[in-house]
Structure formats: structure tokens, C-alpha cells
Amino acid sequence: MPKQPRKIDLDRICGVAAAETARALARQVRQALRLTRTVELRLDWLRSDRERSRFLTWLARQRLRGNLIATCRRQVAGGRFHGSVAAERRILGAAVDAGCRWYDVEIESLERNRDFSAIPGAQAIVSLHRFGRPVRDPGRLLRKLQRYPGALGKLAVACDGLRDAVRLIRLARPALSGRSRPEGIITVPMGPVAPAIRLLALREGSPLVYASVDEPVAPGQTRLETTVREYRAGEIGPETRVYGIIGNKVGKSISPAMHNAAFAARGLNAVFLPFLVPDLSDFLEVVAPLGLGGFSVTIPHKQAIVPRLDACDRLAKRLAAVNTVVVRRGRLHGYNTDYAGVLDALRGKVRLEGARVLLVGAGGAARAAAFALGDAGARVSILARRPEQARKLAMASGSVTAAREEIRRQSFDLIVNATPVGMAPDRSAPLAPGELNAPAVFDMVYRPIATPLLRMARARGLRCISGVDMLVAQGVAQWELWTGEKAPARLMKRAALRALRRDAE
């Protein structure tokens, strides 16, 4: 392929349109162009040459405004196309004739057929994909792409940890990639830990981030609408402050919608992202390289992170559980805003002074609830799957333990669920109907808004208190710790409810 260095004129967010029929692919293209000017057409997803011909005929008639990237990825590079390199070249050429001004060819096709000529009137992306086992030296792959200096290089690599993903996206930096030419290197981490790091590749200089129009077509890909509207990825740059939530179930978290809405409303150059963190040590090693300003902590790290911090405020030390970390001059400071969130959610709904409360759970969220309820004058009984954990929390918080077999014979003023049981897609409840012997039930789970426990309680005529109010209250406190500004609390609640309703559709 001859050298053809060109100036890049692409929106930084590339919508990925992939469907089996021409009609469905056309629908996705129109949908994508409402959100971005750059769209990748996965022609290899179309189920036959006939569907490809139909789609390209439609495309030629449309004269769409935007940057269309034709891709017909062969199986050897993780695509669905079964044909030869010559057939791939013909399809890409036809796509250019139909209006595409970019085409993506995998490096395997170029290495297999050295005569793969450049397509006149279009600019090339040379892509190198490595699925499966993580690559320990992505720089070696980068050097392979640099053999094609006239093309925009794309390096997509499976990453089993955040450190691997950060190492990959930093290759987009001009100083590290050894480039001064304008075409650059697109870096694409793949895998469960990849979504947040994919977006942050833009901060390192990657020209594009890929986001699916419909369902994700690659591991770690985010949805286009979320990428554009919630994360505002097109605005991410070197000065963008990064915050996030860490845990093992963050993909459906409502916190990004809530915090990003607040950043946008206040005009702050900041983004809040979900970080899947199975290994806490792995995450803590990328806090500094990513320049995180702070993060929210959820299951299962609220207690495990405490000894890893540089400092904790008095309340967090007392609870031995942290749900909020602020990074100041490289030092990690821990706080607990769940405590205030519990009290805020119950304020004006249940009288806590002298109330008998059954608290289900003994993890990080339950610790905040036990101390908050006890400090408010309630008499707390703790029921947990692991009796020893319940006993330790009871001793620390001045509470007592409860045995499951005794629950039906006791009565309470309030039942609080502080376990993840009932969080979508889980459809179970932490208690049985006959164990709901209290006039009010508070479920700290907020997804769905009507959890299995709350639906059961409502059917028995009990007062139901959603975890949404606690979510917003603790989030407002977090946001103010991170920014030092007054949070737009009402807007954050509206954003949270909107995200929950959208999720339920």
C-alpha cells in the first residue's frame, strides 16, 4: 500500500453499525448520524453478498453527510467475512464508490496479499486485532502498524487488567508512538475491564473511540447514545478531570448518569466512568497514571480498601468502611457518605428514636446503616448470611444479632435490606413474605426502583422506601467532596430516575 499521509477529519466518536440485513444496517446508520458524523459500516456482518449489494445500492442513493468507514473484516481478524482477500478488496472498493471516504483493512490481509492496493479517493485505516490471551508487549504490535505510515493505524488488544489497558492507550501519545505525522494511532482496549479505559484513550491522543449503535459488537464497547450524551466523550481531552465508580457490578450503575449530569449542569470539564475492578491492587496502580480526582467504592471493596488508603476521616475510620475516595496531591483520602444517605432516605418517613430495626446484611453498606440507625436512637438487630460477620458488626455498632428462625416470631418498626439481593437481574428477595413483620420496609437496592422485596411489602400493605433517595443523597455528598461546589441535588435525582426508567424499558 503506497504512502498517502492525509489530514484526519473525523468526529472522535465513531458509531459502529452492524446488522445482518441491509434494512437493519441502514436504520443503524441513520440512527448513528443523529449522534455523530463518523460511522463504521461492518459490512462483514451482512449475511450475504446479496445483502451487501442491497445496502451499498441504498448508500449510493443517500449522499449522506458524514464520514463513513467501510469495514469487511475477515474471520482471521475477528470478523464474519468468509471470503478471500481479493473479495474483501472488491467490497471495500464498492463501498468507496457508494460514498465511503475511509476503509478499514486488517493487517492480516495486507501481509497475506502484498499487492493489496490503496483504494483511490479514500483514506485507509490499517487495523491489528488481538483477541484471547492478553498481549504483554503491545509496543511490538505498534511497530508492525508503523510499516504502513500512510494509513491511520488501529491497535485493538484484549486486556485482562486495568494496567494492561492503560499501557495500551498510552501508546497513542506521540512521544511514545514515535510519530509526528498527523495520522496517529487508534488504541482500543478490549475485555470486561475496558469500557472506561476505551473512552480515556481520547485523553491520550487516540483519534477515535468506537461505540455501538445497537448491541456491542466487541468486548468492552459502550453504547453510542451513552457515549455521546452521558459521557460527553467528544469533549474528553488532556485537561478533563476523571472520576468513577469501582466494584464488581458497575456496568449498570446509575452513578455515571447522576454525576455526569451534574458536571454538565455546572459546566465542569470532568467525566464519571464505571471501572470494573475484580482486583483492587490492579486498580490502585492506575489511579495516578489516569490522574483520577476521586472515585466511588461499591461491592465488594468498601472495607477492603480502608487499609490501602493514605487517610480516612473520623466517620470512615469508625465505620471501617469507605464508599468515597478523594485524591489530593496523589494521596487517597477516604470518606463514608452512605451514613448520611441512610438517614436522609428515612427522614420524615420513619421515627428512628426508640425504633426496633431489623437490618439484613453485614457488609460495607450494612455497616454504614448500623451505625447511622444506632446513632439516631434505633435498636438494631442484624441478620446476615454469615453469623460471624453479623456478630462482629453488632459488637462494633452496639447492635444485637438476629437468627433467621426467630424472625417470624418478632416484630419491628422498620426492616432495612443492605444486601445486593434483588438487584437486577436478580429476582429474589432477602426475606420471605411471612418475615416482613414491620409497618415499613427500606430497600437500599435501587435497581429496579420496585425491587422484589418492595413489591412483596407493597402487596402486604406496608410502607415502602426506595433506595433511590439514599443513592442521590450519598451521591450529592460525594460530588461536593470531589468538586468543592454545591451539588445540583434535584437535577441529580431527575437524572437517576430517568436512567432507572430507561433501564426498565
Helix (H) or strand (E) holding 265: helix 255-266
C-alpha span between 216 and 457 (Å, rounded): 37
C-alpha cell at 134: 492478553
Chain Cα centroid distance, residue 15 = 17
Helix (H) or strand (E) holding 114: none
Helix (H) or strand (E) holding 321: none
372 and 343 in contact (C-beta within 8 Å)? Answer: yes
C-alpha span between 423 and 277 (Å, rounded): 19
Cβ atoms within 10 Å, residue 398: 12
C-alpha span between 406 and 402 (Å, rounded): 7
Which residues are registered as beta bridge partners of 106?
A: 127
100 and 70 in contact (C-beta within 8 Å)? Answer: yes
C-alpha span between 246 and 296 (Å, rounded): 6
Q: Exposed, middle or buried, 243 (CB in 10 Å: 0-12/13-18/19+)?
A: buried
Q: Known catalytic residue: 302? A: yes
Total length of the chain: 505
Catalytic residue among 154, 302, 349, 493: 302
Residue located via cell numbers 468526529: 11
DSSP state of 239: T
β 292-297/324-328 pair status:
antiparallel
List Cα–Cα distances, 13 to 43, 129, 227, 245, 350, in angstroms.
Answer: 19, 19, 8, 23, 48
Residue positions annotated with a catalytic role? 302
